Amino acid sequence: MGRPEATAIAGTALVFAIFWVTAGDSGMFALDGVMNWLVVSGYLGILAVGACLLMIAGEFDLSIGSMIGFTGMVAAIPPLHFGWPVWLSMVVALACALGLGFVNGQLVVRTGLPSFIVTLAFLFILRGLTLAFSIIVADRTIVSGIGDLAEHDPIARFLFSGTFGDGWFGWMARHGWIRALDDGTPLVRGIPKVLIWWAVLAAACSFQLTRTRFGNWIFAVGGDAGAAKNVGVPVKRVKVSIFMFTALCGWLFAMLQICDIGSAAADRGLQKEFEAVIAAVIGGSLLTGGYGSVIGACFGALIFGVVQIGITYTNLNSDWFRVFLGLMLLSAVLFNNQVRRRLTQTR
Amino acid sequence: MAPDPSSPYVLELDHVSKFFGTVIALKDVTLRLRRGEVHCLLGDNGAGKSTLIKILAGVHPPSLGTYRVDAEPVAFASPRDALDRGIATVYQDLALVPLMSVARNFFLGREPTRTYGGIFRVFDRRLAAKVASEKLADLGILVRDADQAVGTLSGGERQCLAIARAIHFGARVLILDEPTAALGVKQSANVLRIVARARDQGISVIFITHNVHHAYPVGDTFTLLDRGRSMGSFQKSEISRDEVLTMMAGGQEMQHLMSELGSGDDRGT
């Protein structure tokens, strides 16, 4: 109970136990089943890492879901309609994301307005821009074919398309260690790139947060911005850079998604901002800032994926997913509140 | 004029006045801080204590008069300048983050780093915990664990942490703004003990308070402020606690009140 991620780990164990009992023989825990829920967790995990750092720094970004739709469109339309190389449009989309993160951050630190309201405005602005922009340029809100173009772009393919370790998985299939199709190719061809990104991002951010000087500043600006400023921490710079990083996480989500699904759509990322916050809170981050853990947020995302996909392996109607999630969130918030009280009360 | 470390005074305010528009916050105040003394600045609310601190800390420049450090006139542009000359101010809010550990707070903004795996510069947690515990122990405060959250410390312990931090980062002069204002009797006694210990380490202290009972035991010199004017500075040998109390703004009122209530008692018996 001494660490912020302890509850999320306990919650994960509980969720696994429940599904092991109710859906243990359904194929949910076979390799292809595992990949199903891990990929869902991985996508959300990437967002949750950003959202949790931002929450620890004392801010929210509700525009991150709209950012996914926006950057996906910015990356997909130019190659399809103007013949741009995919990597170039992806770089432009990244620049847009970082720029928007910068604007969000500057608005929050300069006006002192709650980030909740500033980024809520951007939730609508970005979603509206995405729809309007795609109608004007492409005359549609779903653009297909970007996946094939990305396959033929060496940079985009290397970073975002397909799977990792295909040779290794083929080797395991030939030895009969993992399930193979009739033609000998493995059922799971490799590790999806999203999982690699999730692991790398989580490890790097967790290290940054807990082990470096900048990480100390993230905790400080969220815990007490006034105190941090008085001891010389560049509060505004820290907050703005985390806003930019969160936007980058949204961009990364979108790039992986358009390469994976093969299309971009203006409504992508709907409600992802809430899911990311939920994962961070289940992971032990306080809504008031100054406390939390990247590893915890990753376990929060894992719980999310396991429950969302796992429920389809059981006899339960999948509508129960939301009920379960809401209950998880509520119990996590109640628990976190206790932790906060314990940490701020004189012994 | 160059700094003169042999001057008996580390800080001097010479006939300093401060005006905010037409408001006279301080008028012709002279204050001299001897090396290694605890100089108590006493005054009621509105006496000008906060303005005086802000001038000393480099937040405001004086409107009239001279501010000297080591006998050299100075014009601080910001608190950073004052800090560079070893003048540290511990404000009432203490600049501590309750959710963070003692060690992380101690080094916040000035984290020690080491190289990890030959590439990464990381926060040296072990060194931070060790130094923070040692420096607190030097002032007689034993924390159970340098990794415990500051929120779990008592108000007195937090005050001591802020003082220990200022000393560690090179304070020669400590300006303490009402360090005992929000504390109980026992906690206040602890903080006063720390103030005395800091002086024993050769640090000069300006101790701002409106509580004579806290100031008198640790103070060497007392300067009384009343509505922006100094009523003079006195050595401890020159003045008794009751005289200080009487001279303080509001002192007479308290004595009237005491005699009134006292006479009430007489009637009762």
pLDDT tens digits along B179-194: 988 888 888 998 999 8
Does the structure's ipTM exceed the value 0.95? Answer: no
Please check the confidence at residue B253 and state whether its pLDDT lies above 80.
Answer: no
Query: In angstroms, what separates the C-alpha of B242 from chain A's closest C-alpha?
Result: 36
Residues of A in contact with B153 (CB under 8 A): 346
Give the per-residue pLDDT at A142: 94
Using the beta-carbon criterion (under 8 Å), do A343 and B98 form an inter-chain contact? Answer: yes
Chain B residues whose C-beta is within 8 A of a chain A C-beta are 91, 93-100, 104, 107-111, 113, 116, 120-123, 125, 149, 151-155
Give the per-residue pLDDT at B269: 42
Q: Identify the residue among A337, A343, A344 best suited for mutation to test binding to B, counting B beta carbons within 10 A and taking the highest.
A: A343
pLDDT band at B244 (very low <50, low <70, confident <90, very high): confident
Lowest mean pLDDT among A236-245, A317-326, B62-71: A317-326
Residues of B in contact with A343 (CB under 8 A): 98-99, 149, 151-152
Closest in A215, A231, A347 to B152, CB measured: A347
Closest in B104, B108, B151 to A343, CB measured: B151
Using the beta-carbon criterion (under 8 Å), do A226 and B93 form an inter-chain contact? Answer: yes
Using the beta-carbon criterion (under 8 Å), do A213 and B123 form an inter-chain contact? Answer: yes
Using the beta-carbon criterion (under 8 Å), do B108 and A220 form an inter-chain contact? Answer: yes
Please check the confidence at residue B264 and state whether its pLDDT lies above 60.
Answer: no
pLDDT band at A1 (very low <50, low <70, confident <90, very high): very low
CA-nearest residue of chain A to B93? Answer: A227
Give the per-residue pLDDT at B251: 61
Please check the confidence at residue B267 and state whether its pLDDT lies above 50.
Answer: no
pLDDT band at B143 (very low <50, low <70, confident <90, very high): confident
Question: Measured between alpha carbons, how far is A314 from B113 in angstroms, rounded to an integer?
Answer: 51
Size of interface A-B (CB pairs under 8 A): 87
Say what percent of chain A tops pLDDT 70: 99
Please check the confidence at residue A2 and state whether its pLDDT lies above 80.
Answer: no
Please check the confidence at residue B263 and state whether its pLDDT lies above 70.
Answer: no
Using the beta-carbon criterion (under 8 Å), do B149 and A340 form an inter-chain contact? Answer: no
How much is the average pLDDT of A50-55?
Answer: 98
Please check the confidence at residue B226 and state whether its pLDDT lies above 60.
Answer: yes
Give the per-residue pLDDT at B101: 94
Give the per-residue pLDDT at B122: 93
Residues of A in contact with B113 (CB under 8 A): 212-213
Using the beta-carbon criterion (under 8 Å), do B108 and A216 form an inter-chain contact? Answer: yes
Give the per-residue pLDDT at A277: 95
pLDDT band at A345 (very low <50, low <70, confident <90, very high): confident
Task: Kindly write down the DSSP assignment for every residue of B46-98, as one continuous string.
Answer: TSSHHHHHHHHTTSS--SEEEEEETTEE---SSHHHHHHTTEEEE-TTTT--T
Closest in A213, A224, A286 to B97, CB measured: A224
Using the beta-carbon criterion (under 8 Å), do A227 and B152 form an inter-chain contact? Answer: no
Using the beta-carbon criterion (under 8 Å), do B152 and A343 form an inter-chain contact? Answer: yes
Angle between helices B125-138 and B155-168 (to 10 degrees): 110
* Count of other CB atoms within 10 angstroms of residue A176: 8
Give the per-residue pLDDT at A315: 84
Q: Which residue has the tokens 């931070």?
A: B128
